[in-house]
Amino acid sequence: MQLAILTDTPQQGATHTTTYGDSAPIAEYSIDGRTVFVCTQGQADPRATIRALQDAGATHLWLCESVGALSPLLEPGDWLVPDDYIDGTRGQHYTYFSERAGGYVQQMPAFDESSRETLLTGLHHVTTRPFKRGVYVCISNTRLETPAEALFWRRAGGHIIGRYLSPCLTLARELEMRVAVLAHVVRAGGEAGESVGLDRYLSIVSRAIQ
């Protein structure tokens, strides 16, 4: 297992040149003696970033993100490992096969079950009530959702709302990487909020990969 983490906090690291251009900066962390790659989407072509992670040997991609709550059952401070998602983004690079036939990757189950179970095991060390299921709604990473949009996505079946899953999920799946999400609720949907630092997630990831 070689883990890569996608996060919503900017990272300092090396960029890597691919056929899709330069990747986002990719940092290297040491967790319990293991090297873990960490990056955020940034302005780079996501195809370049995901390809660079695969070229470096990444087999798993876990998104660690601070999100908004759509469900009234969730409140700031809660943790959730979703089991499904809704992609509300448009106009991005969603596939490596846009210029030739193929590229369809089955999305059932939406996330890697073994990764989800591993993250839930890690969560049990920091909270007594991790939410084991839920629907993650992904919107554009250029802005937060409006209150009306939050209401729309809640009525569509969403439980949390974030900005960084798509298109990295489908791209990583095409490259046979295992994808999961560790979400920390920091605000209500349609409201502003501050992301928590990466260290908060790394302590859980450390417990998980042990």
- pLDDT score recorded for residue 67: 98
CATH number of 3-209: 3.40.50.1580
| Res. 102: pLDDT tops 90 | no
- What's 87-99 look like in SS3? ECCCCCCCCCCCC
Q: How far apart are the first and last CA of the chain?
A: 12
pLDDT digits (tens, 9 = 90+) for 55-72: 999 999 999 999 999 999
**183 Cβ contact list (under 8 Å, min separation 6):** 63, 65, 66, 67, 79, 80, 81, 82, 134, 136, 160, 162
**Quick check: 171 and 95 in contact, CB under 8 A?**
yes
* % of the chain exceeding 90 in pLDDT: 82
Burial class (CB in 10 A: 0-12, 13-18, 19+), 204: buried
Read off the pLDDT band of 126 (50, 70, 90).
Answer: confident
Q: What is the pTM of this model?
A: 0.93
Instruction: Return phi, psi of residue 49, to 5°.
Output: -65, -45
Nearest-angstrom CA–CA distance, 105 and 77: 34
- pLDDT score recorded for residue 91: 87
Query: 113-123 and 198-209 helices cross at what angle (nearest 10)?
Result: 110
Read off the pLDDT band of 209 (50, 70, 90).
Answer: confident
